[in-house]
Amino acid sequence: MVRRSGRTGPAEAMWQASRLDYAAMTPLRDDGRTIHASGRPDRGQEAGHGLDPQTVRAEFLALDQTVHGHPLVYLDNAATALKPRCVIEAVTRMYARDCANVHRGVHMLSQRATDAYEQARESVGSFINAESAAEVVFVRGTTEAINLVAQAWAIEHIGPGDQILITGLEHHANIVPWQMVCKQVGAELVAAPVDDTGAVPLAEIQARISKRTRLVAIAHVSNVLGTVLPVRAIADLAHASGALVLVDGAQAVPHMAVDVRALGCDFYTFSGHKLYGPTGIGVLWARRDILASMSLYQGGGGMIQSVTLDRTLYRDEPYRFEAGTPHIAGAVGLRAAIEYVGTIGFEAISAHERDLLAYATARLGEVAGLRLIGTAGDKTGVLSFTIESVHPHDIGTVVDTRGVAIRTGHHCAQPLMERFAVPAMARASLALYNTRSDIDALIDALLVVEEMFG
């Protein structure tokens, strides 16, 4: 279950009153029909006691459509997840009723907006078990969070001859910023290799950590293969050599409970849009002492105490990293997404997705010439594959004609493509609203591909 902040003061009461008021509203869909916010169906199960897919699916309005004459089957969740009704409502209400800037106004709308924004920060802190909400910095997404650490921490703490350690399965967002840092300061980027199953053996990481290592930057879960890395064990190795650890958690937070203190990492990053929240909002978590040691990333309004023409005094963290008007509605939508996931619980979500992964893995074996890439023992619901003599883009195009949405290409992980000697892969990725029927539709579509190109 998601941990709640426990705040019970006037601001929380005002927020709850606002939610009740909003429940009576009927915002419009883009086709002109209304979304009835009242009478929202029960999600069918207590958190941790199972997941009712049909009840869940009713909350995701995007699934109520056809594509090329077929019911939509959405299997592109690793790229972005669909949004439940409560997230859409929260964002709509923010713009419809509480549209004001934060931290700057004494009028009621500004106070409500500020409270909603800061309640979102507290919700995120509880969600990842941060020691304090002050350790939560709102950014545009995982990419900006990693770049913030690169430019506000790494260039101050990494120098000539030092090393940054990554793995061979990283997303470009966890490669390119470190290449930039190494070029800036004269450091070296080192990568631990990926084995044939798509795992990164702990021994390979251990062999590459030395006294020269200043930072270990790893994915919690691979966006291409679904591989889950042993973050705690890696963090222990890194800390024993005096290095800090950054975790790209973009692909982890939708599928498993994340406890940053239990993981032992120093930085944790993720994006809202993969967690059923809005695009353009993300999180950097870092220990408070580390945030305090970081240099400034951007300058502007919102992050200052006072400015003269001679000097500027800055606010404490996290605000000094949030220059300018933030994505207020995005943060509010992210809070709604976190609360939504909390009503279901990760025990139920994980069990459901494990069942789908096993079912899909077995059924993909029915497609002639299909090569499943990524068979690590610990992985989430990501299935990347190729079909002999068929370009992945052709696979994606054909299955789309059957209403099935998958991702094709290099998935912003070109070094991993090189490791498996392919130019691209097709990828089906699972979410809590997917069903076995979705897998069946994918297999039927792939059999069409087989027939067309076989």
- Pairing assessment for the beta strands 425-429 and 382-387 based on DSSP bridges: antiparallel
**Structural element, H or E, at residue 218:** strand 213-219
CA distance 119 to 133: 9
CA distance 251 to 6: 28
Catalytic residue list contains 99? no
CA distance 270 to 267: 10
Q: Confirm if 184 and 159 have CB atoms less than 8 A apart.
A: no
Q: What is the CA radius of gyration of the chain?
A: 23
The most distant pair of C-alpha atoms in the chain lies apart, rounded to whole Å, by 72
Q: Is residue 318 reached through a cis peptide bond, with omega within 30 degrees of 0 on the bond before it?
A: yes
CA distance 452 to 454: 6
Q: Confirm if 383 and 433 have CB atoms less than 8 A apart.
A: no
Of 408, 383, 402, 384, the C-alpha closest to 452 is 402
Of 106, 126, 103, 107, the C-alpha closest to 116 is 103
**Catalytic position from the list 86, 182, 265, 412:** 412
Buried b / exposed e across 151-181, counting CB within 10 Å, b at 16+? Answer: bbbbeeebeeebbbbbbbbbbbbbbbbbebb
- DSSP class of 63: G
CA distance 376 to 31: 43
Q: How long is the chain?
A: 454
**Catalytic residue IDs:** 412
